[in-house]
């Protein structure tokens, strides 16, 4: 009789544990990232009452099975059900839902932990943390002026501004670089000068028109003040004739305005003028009898008139064709002239396809008094042959020719030399071997840029894209599908600042629960393998969403009824066994 009591007591104990597990699951039905648990039972030790015996043919006796009686049940396992929970949209930019088998990696003190709960926050110094304060781990980008780790900072006055540049990649292949994700709230993106301006338009290839109307013309006196320079790349320097012809009243056939950015991130309004020409000199590399266009780009801030100068270089050592002229105007207006564009028979835009060598290297100092009249407005200097020459006119305009490199039609790759000009009297420096374009600000300071792409849709010209931008302050964060924490800045630019580290385990059910929806390594979980979201089966990430608990209430309520009936049945065994013991006791009365 005592055996039945002990067996029923073990059943009561185990069904109580089952009910506790069911209650814990139901209580966490709305816990972010919670994984349900289940109970399994196993048979406890058995008591042998008779051994088994085999058949004896000689004695004509059959075999017998062993006589064994169980002594109750025992707890077999408490398993974690690692199925995917539903994804719920929250709209909070730092909420992260993980779809797949991975875990977010966090650090609490010196202990590395793992979680599926992606409700992250930023603390007062920029740490990305869980709700319990554990710091989220991942790969960080590089911020200028950030050295080491700031521990318990205190500021006197304004804190040091921290700068991030837009041109860097986050290396997720090196697990040794996994660290705390810290994104300073005072982060600023550095400005970037415009390197590419893409514009589109339809440049009519019909009947050519006159390039300009002339309200008046006359020859202005000027001295030949061009001074030869020393050639650092071994290329001879020619002298430019500074005699000029003055025109007024130039009217473009087509024009458009776009915004670019200088090296300080300041916006500059640039106007493009298009002039259709009737024919082109075949010696310049253009096909015969094809209409083509000249275009001019200049800073509209200082435009007070339209004046054109022409000069005659005395030497040429590259193929004639497209050319760029950049005058260092005393009034600050910067003008870039480009010519040599025509249309193919099918109407597509083309240019000279010849491969030209880049301009060589020059270095020299110009010291010449500026005399003559003062002129206002942009100066556009047209040189008939793109030779490697440079000189200084009496009005202080620096005029240069550049050899260009053209490839696929409809793409303009403005190549040339690196230029540094602070004023008409400072030292111009020419670096050999560069295939960059050229841009500048209104003060005559120039920087290197890339090529310009041209597309030809319908009957107008408009800016498609400008590569530069102004500086910007960090205003928000979000998380993309690869686990990249993306910063949004006030200049409408976005940069991936960090990447979440996703941990993978051979046996995720072997992880040990430590509370706060976190797990720790155990001897049966295996070591973590770190990767980024979207790789190695780690799953994908949904920003602005959370993974809900995977508890199924219908299953839990059904199990609750089964557990209740099991408990009641074991309790009935106890009461029945007690009644039987009472009967035995009463037999002796």
Model confidence pLDDT, tens digit, residues 29-48: 999 999 999 999 999 887 88
Output the CA torsion sign for 537, 542, 546, 547.
Answer: negative
pLDDT tens-digit map of 50-106: 888 888 888 888 898 988 888 889 999 999 999 999 999 998 999 999 999 999 999
**Pairing of the two strands 452-455 and 197-201:** parallel
Domain end: 466, 499, 518, which one?
Answer: 466
Q: At 561, is the pLDDT very low, low, confident or very high (cuts 50, 70, 90)?
A: very high
Residue with the bigger pLDDT between 180 and 167: it is: 180
**What is the per-residue burial (b if ≥16 Cβ within 10 Å, else e) of 396-426?**
bbbbbbbbbbbeeeeebbbbbbbbebeebee
Domain region containing 293: 197-466
Do residue 415 and residue 477 come from a single domain? no
CB 22 within 8 A of CB 50: no
**Mean of pLDDT values over 259-265:** 64
Do residue 269 and residue 394 come from a single domain? yes
Q: At 466, is the pLDDT very low, low, confident or very high (cuts 50, 70, 90)?
A: low
Q: At 380, is the pLDDT very low, low, confident or very high (cuts 50, 70, 90)?
A: very low
pLDDT at position 586 is 85
Do residue 287 and residue 417 come from a single domain? yes
Do residue 245 and residue 112 come from a single domain? no
* 309 has a pLDDT exceeding 50: no
Tell me the CA end-to-end span of the chain in Å, nearest whole number: 20
**Mean of pLDDT values over 190-217:** 43
Tell me the average pLDDT of the chain: 65
pLDDT tens-digit map of 432-451: 333 333 333 323 333 333 33
Do residue 438 and residue 573 come from a single domain? no
Residue 55 included in any domain: no
pLDDT above 70 coverage of the chain, percent: 49
CA-nearest of 239, 216, 236 to 228 is: 239
Residue 65 included in any domain: no
Residue 363 included in any domain: yes
Do residue 448 and residue 367 come from a single domain? yes
* 120 has a pLDDT exceeding 90: yes
Do residue 453 and residue 477 come from a single domain? no
pLDDT at position 421 is 34
As a whole number of angstroms, the distance between CA 531 and CA 483 comes to: 10
Q: At 467, is the pLDDT very low, low, confident or very high (cuts 50, 70, 90)?
A: low
pLDDT at position 99 is 92
Residue 60 included in any domain: no
Q: How many domains does the chain have?
A: 3
pLDDT tens-digit map of 500-548: 999 999 999 999 999 999 999 999 999 999 999 988 778 899 999 999 9
Domain end: 466, 499, 515, which one?
Answer: 466
pLDDT at position 417 is 30
CB 359 within 8 A of CB 417: yes
As a whole number of angstroms, the distance between CA 448 and CA 429 comes to: 13
pLDDT at position 267 is 73
Residue 205 included in any domain: yes
- What proportions of the chain, in percent to the nearest 5, are helix, strand and coil? 10, 35, 50
Do residue 541 and residue 440 come from a single domain? no
* 110 has a pLDDT exceeding 60: yes
pLDDT at position 86 is 96
pLDDT at position 522 is 95
Output the CA torsion sign for 513, 515, 516, 521.
Answer: negative
Residue 69 included in any domain: no
Do residue 406 and residue 517 come from a single domain? no
**Mean of pLDDT values over 259-281:** 63
Residue 380 included in any domain: yes
As a whole number of angstroms, the distance between CA 405 and CA 394 comes to: 32
Least confident of 46-55, 130-139, 297-306: 297-306
* 211 has a pLDDT exceeding 60: no
**Mean of pLDDT values over 413-433:** 34
Do residue 360 and residue 289 come from a single domain? yes
* 266 has a pLDDT exceeding 70: no
* 180 has a pLDDT exceeding 90: yes
At 144 the three-state DSSP class reads strand
Calculate the alpha carbon distances from 255 to 275, 374, 447 in Å: 9, 27, 25
Residue with the bigger pLDDT between 455 and 120: it is: 120
pLDDT at position 263 is 56
Do residue 289 and residue 213 come from a single domain? yes
pLDDT at position 46 is 79
Do residue 350 and residue 234 come from a single domain? yes
The residue assigned the tokens 């200082």 is: 302
As a whole number of angstroms, the distance between CA 237 and CA 430 comes to: 12
pLDDT at position 250 is 54
Residue 381 included in any domain: yes
């Amino acid at each position: 009789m005592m055996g039945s009591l002990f067996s029923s007591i073990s059943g009561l104990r185990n069904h109580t544990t089952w009910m506790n597990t069911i209650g814990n699951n139901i209580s966490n039905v709305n816990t972010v990232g919670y994984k349900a648990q289940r109970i399994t039972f196993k048979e406890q030790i058995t008591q042998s009452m008779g051994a088994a015996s085999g058949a004896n043919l000689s004695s004509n006796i059959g075999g017998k099975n062993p006589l064994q009686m169980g002594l109750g049940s025992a707890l077999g396992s408490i398993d974690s059900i690692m199925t995917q929970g539903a994804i719920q949209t929250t709209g909070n930019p730092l909420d992260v839902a993980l779809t797949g088998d991975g875990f977010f990696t966090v650090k609490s003190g010196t202990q590395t932990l793992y979680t599926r709960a992606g409700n992250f926050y930023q603390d007062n110094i920029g740490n990305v943390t869980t709700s319990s304060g554990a710091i989220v781990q991942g790969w960080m980008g590089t911020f200028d002026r950030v050295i080491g780790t700031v521990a318990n900072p205190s500021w006197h006055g304004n804190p040091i501004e921290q700068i991030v540049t837009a041109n860097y990649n986050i290396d997720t292949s090196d697990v040794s670089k996994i660290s705390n994700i810290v994104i300073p709230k005072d982060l600023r993106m550095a400005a970037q000068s415009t390197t590419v301006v893409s514009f589109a338009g339809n440049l009519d290839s019909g009947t050519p028109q006159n390039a300009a109307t002339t309200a008046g013309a006359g020859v202005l006196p000027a001295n030949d003040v061009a001074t030869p320079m020393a050639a650092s790349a071994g290329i001879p320097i020619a002298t430019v004739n500074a005699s000029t012809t003055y025109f007024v009243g130039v009217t473009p056939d087509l024009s458009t305005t776009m915004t670019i950015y200088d090296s300080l991130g300041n916006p500059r309004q640039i106007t493009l003028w298009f002039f259709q020409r009737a024919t082109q000199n075949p010696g310049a590399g253009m096909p015969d009898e094809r209409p083509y266009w000249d275009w001019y780009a200049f800073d509209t801030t200082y435009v007070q008139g339209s004046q054109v100068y022409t000069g005659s270089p005395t030497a040429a050592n590259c193929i004639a064709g497209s050319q760029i002229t950049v005058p260092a105007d005393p009034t600050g207006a910067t003008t870039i002239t480009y010519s040599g564009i025509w249309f193919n028979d099918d109407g597509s835009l083309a240019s000279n396809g010849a491969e030209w060598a880049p301009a060589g290297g020059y270095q020299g100092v110009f010291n010449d008094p500026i005399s003559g009249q003062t002129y206002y407005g942009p100066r556009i200097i047209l040189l008939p042959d793109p030779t490697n020459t440079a000189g200084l006119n009496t009005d202080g305009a620096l005029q240069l020719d550049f050899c260009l490199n053209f490839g696929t039609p409809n793409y303009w790759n403005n190549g040339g030399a690196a230029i540094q000009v602070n004023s008409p009297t400072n030292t111009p420096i020419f670096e050999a071997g560069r295939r960059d374009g050229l841009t500048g600000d209104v003060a005559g300071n120039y920087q290197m840029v890339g090529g310009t792409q041209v597309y030809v849709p319908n009957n107008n010209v408009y800016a498609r894209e400008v590569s530069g931008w102004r500086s910007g302050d960090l205003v928000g964060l979000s998380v993309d599908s690869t686990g990249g924490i993306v910063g949004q800045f006030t200049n409408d630019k976005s940069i991936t600042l960090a990447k979440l580290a996703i941990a993978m385990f051979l046996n995720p059910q072997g992880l040990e629960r430590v509370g706060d929806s976190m797990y720790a390594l155990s001897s049966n979980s295996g070591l973590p393998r770190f990767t980024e979201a979207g790789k190695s089966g780690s799953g994908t990430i949904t920003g602005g969403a959370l993974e809900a608990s995977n508890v199924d209430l219908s299953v839990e309520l059904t199990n609750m009824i089964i557990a209740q009936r099991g408990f009641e049945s074991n309790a009935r065994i106890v009461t029945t066994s007690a009644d039987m013991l009472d009967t035995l006791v009463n037999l002796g009365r």
